[in-house]
Amino acid sequence: MAQVDIREQLAQRFAAPLPAGISRRIIIWHDVAEEFEEEFDFIADQGLFAFGGTSRGQGEFFPLDGDSQPQRQLRCVKPDSNNLFVVKELIARDDIESDILIYRNTSGRKLEGDWLADVELYAEHFSADAVTLLADELGVGNSTDIRQALSDFKRFFRSHERLEKFRVCMPDPHTYGDIALGVFATLFRGATGRRAQTGAADTSTIMRDYVTLLWEAQNDEYIDIGEETGLQNESSRAELSHSKYPYALLEKYQAHEAFIKFLSAKLGYEGYPDSAKELAGHLLFSAAACTLPPQIFRGLSVAASPEHQQACLTIVRAWLKSGGSEKRQLFDIARVVERESNLYGRLEALDVAQLVSCDVFPLINEVILNKLLRWMGQGEDRCDDAVSATDRRKNMEWYEEYASYFSLLLASVEAQRFYRSHAEGFHLADPAKVWRTYTDDWCQMDQSYRKARLAYRECLNNPSDSLDDAAREAIDWVESRYTQWFLPEVNACWMKTARSQWRENGWVEGIARQDRFYEDEVANNTSSSKAAPCTVVVISDALRYGVGATLAQRLEQTTHGITKLTSMQAVFPSITEFGMAALLPHRRLGYEVKDGHGTVLADGMPTASTPQRQAVLQACNPKGRALQMQD
């Protein structure tokens, strides 16, 4: 600590001109607290680093004021109770020419019985106030508060490397608390590998780092503690890793008592901070207490602190915002705390309205979803509750971990709302009206069913054991309403109204026809005065109308263009080989069977392959092309 300053001060003292009649300089360095004994030993061994890059040490010459001055040696001596007379003899008789630096762990005020009493009287004196030197080096004030902090953490500041790391973590300390925060942050940040991180230390970062380190140590994860603790013995390292690291760092640098006070003041934690589960539990429960009813915390082995709820929530929020692996680690920690406190049973007793405002624990999403999905699966009319809860949760933490289940919930809500609004069934007499009603309204059930099946598939790909049964109940309800109610009744309505026109015409009047697609859409577009330079037709086989409606919506959202959605009735039979031929220019469609294989013909031309369909196109428009998507 401040070694260079001490050496420079001593070098300046020895280099100063001697008073008249004095041939050498003797300086006694008083260090009652023995803070600088190692520094004296270093000087005795290596010499004083003086200006101009030269040095003089034990038995070495050093030119003082230029070549005109005589050269004197520097001798460093360290008296003790057994050699005081020998040192006196050295100074008074054996070496009367060398400069002498004497290191003593006394104050020099009590001279009675001291063999060096006369030397104390005529020699110069030097003392180093470690706290003052450190305050100067850090550029901080010299108030009583600051001095007390620097004194309490003096062991920490003995390393120049730690001092430089402290500057990064706490560049502008003003109080005892600032000094303490800087010390904690330096120790924990270095141990977590965030040595390059800049910015002042704060309570949130310190707690995240401490809990993380403690958690890793107590969950058999390897931590390289050798650098910070100096423990190189494998058994010692293993014992420390499985007990109270990083508390050992605090003890090593005599910062543990300050840290205990810090936890009490900032978090209201009164326990011994050597258990990651207990400390994390206190932090998470106190944070959750901001928005959850107090009765759920009764009887917990780790108590929440009502007075520190907001402070704990701020710490948890900052941890969550760190994202990445750090957020994932908080997720894992929270899951253990949930399990060991039987939190699910406590939360299950609350209403959804009491749960939706808290996102400290991931488990809260599971409790909410379990309630709502089961209600959907039982056909209860809780749609408004489900939508409100989802809207609230989707902008909160941990939503993404359960996004597929929320998607299933919303799809179930859509299906239930459709079911309730069409409880009277599907009873229309005109086939064209049936068609329009389907495209305007009834297709919503198709869309809801598809959303539910896709969401449930994603749930199976990213399962949550506690939600499996509830999700299955919800999808089973949607499945039964779709396959046992919607499809049979809608198809029956359509078949009943369209049957006579199929029999008479082969199609239904008043509905656009697939076999007139080229004439009505492509030919009219290319022949108009405002024709586009090119008309592109994308054919997606078996594209349901509900999927088309979703595609149209997404196109408008992503391209900011205008999309028009229409529909056509297929030719009979409505299978791919007939539908592909019906889209081509033609006056007549036919069907030919050769060698047991059938081929659809457009004006006598085969249409089975892409080259054949291109030939049909070019017979009408020489510039027409037919392409596979990959080409």
Check residue 190 and give its pLDDT. 67
- Answer whether residue 227 shows pLDDT above 50: no
Could you list the beta-strand ranges (E) of 370-504: none
3-state SS class at 21: coil
Q: Is the confidence at residue 339, as pLDDT, over 90? A: yes
Residue 34, Cβ density class (10 Å: 0-12 exposed, 13-18 middle, ≥19 buried): exposed
Contact 209, 329 (CB under 8 A): no
End-to-end CA, the chain = 73
Q: What is the pLDDT of residues 452-464, one digit of tens each?
A: 999 999 999 999 9
Contact present, 373 and 470 (Cβ < 8 Å): yes
Lowest mean pLDDT among 82-86, 385-389, 409-413, 441-445: 82-86
Residue 513 DSSP label: B
Share of the chain above pLDDT 70, in %: 88
On the question of pLDDT at 243 being above 70, the answer is: no
φ and ψ at residue 464, rounded to 5 degrees: -125, 115
How high is the pLDDT of residue 145? 87
Whether 68 has a pLDDT exceeding 70, the answer reads: no
Residue whose tokens read 């001697």: 18
Return the H-helix or E-strand segment holding 494.
helix 487-505
Which of these ranges, 24-28, 110-114, 372-376, has the smallest mean pLDDT?
110-114
Confidence of residue 71 (pLDDT cuts 50, 70, 90): low
Q: What gap in Å lies between CA 290 and CA 19, rounded to an integer? A: 73
In this structure, what token pair is assigned to residue 341? Answer: 């406190």
pLDDT, position 60: 46
The per-residue pLDDT for 35 is: 79
* Selection from 203, 365, 341 nearest residue 285 by Cα: 341
The span from the CA of 358 to the CA of 393, in Å, is 9
* pLDDT tens by residue, 554-572: 999 999 889 999 999 999 8
Mean pLDDT of 261-266: 94
Q: What is the mean pLDDT of residues 360-370?
A: 97
Per-residue pLDDT tens over the stretch 477-493: 999 999 999 999 999 99
User: Among 475, 481, 384, 376, which Cα is nearest to 425's?
Assistant: 481
* Cβ proximity of 331 and 320 under 8 Å: no
Region 35-44: mean pLDDT is 86
What pLDDT is stored for residue 69 in this prediction?
Answer: 46
* Confidence category of residue 387, pLDDT binned at 50, 70, 90: very high
Contact at 8 Å (CB) between 49 and 57?
Answer: no
What are the start-end ranges of the H helices in 427-467? 431-437, 443-461
What's residue 262's pLDDT?
Answer: 95
Name the residue with higher pLDDT: 443 or 57. Answer: 443
Kindly report the number of other CB atoms within 10 A of residue 423's CB atom: 8
pLDDT band at 32 (very low <50, low <70, confident <90, very high): confident
Question: Nearest 5 degrees, angle CA 289-CA 290-CA 292?
Answer: 55
Quick: pLDDT tens for 279-334.
999 999 999 999 999 888 888 877 788 899 999 999 999 999 988 999 999 999 99
Residue 70 has pLDDT above 70, yes or no: no
pLDDT band with cut points at 50, 70 and 90 for residue 225: very low
- How many other CB atoms are there within 10 angstroms of residue 273's CB atom? 24
For position 191, what pLDDT does the model report?
60
Q: Record the tokens describing residue 519, joined without a space.
A: 């004439």
b/e 221-253 (16+ beta carbons within 10 angstroms → b): eebebeebbebeeeeebeebbeebbbbbbbebb
What pLDDT score was predicted for residue 244?
A: 53
Q: Mapped to the 3 state alphabet, what secondary structure does 304-320 carry? A: CCHHHHHHHHHHHHHHH
Q: What is the mean pLDDT of residues 401-411?
A: 98
User: pTM of this prediction?
Assistant: 0.75
Q: How many CB atoms lie within 10 A of CB 501?
A: 16
- Check: CB of residue 72 under 8 Å from CB of residue 97: yes
**Angstrom distance (rounded) from CA 504 to CA 134:** 103
Q: What residue type is assigned to position 196 of the chain?
A: A
Q: How confident is the model at residue 129 (pLDDT cuts 50, 70, 90)?
A: confident
Q: In the predicted model, what is the mean pLDDT of residues 333-351?
A: 94
- Strand bridging mode 72-77 / 61-62: antiparallel
Per-residue pLDDT of 161-178, as tens digits, reads: 888 889 888 988 889 999
Radius of gyration of the chain (CA): 43
With 60 as the cut, is the pLDDT of residue 551 above it? Answer: yes
- The partner residues of 593 in beta bridges, in order of sequence, read 598
Alpha-carbon distances of 145 from 142, 477, 524, rounded to whole Å: 8, 68, 88
pLDDT, position 192: 60
Mean pLDDT (the chain) is 87
Helix (H) or strand (E) holding 348: helix 343-348
Which of 360, 362, 382 shows the shortest CA–CA distance to 371?
382
pLDDT-wise least confident of 23-37, 326-340, 446-460, 602-616: 23-37
pLDDT band at 240 (very low <50, low <70, confident <90, very high): very low
Q: What is the pLDDT averaged over residues 239-243?
A: 41
H-helix or E-strand containing 127? strand 124-127
Q: Treating both helix axes as pointing N-terminal to C-terminal, what angle do 324-340 and 276-288 enclose, rounded to 10 degrees?
A: 90
Q: What pLDDT is recorded for position 200?
A: 65
Going by pLDDT thresholds of 50, 70 and 90, the confidence category of residue 269 is: very high
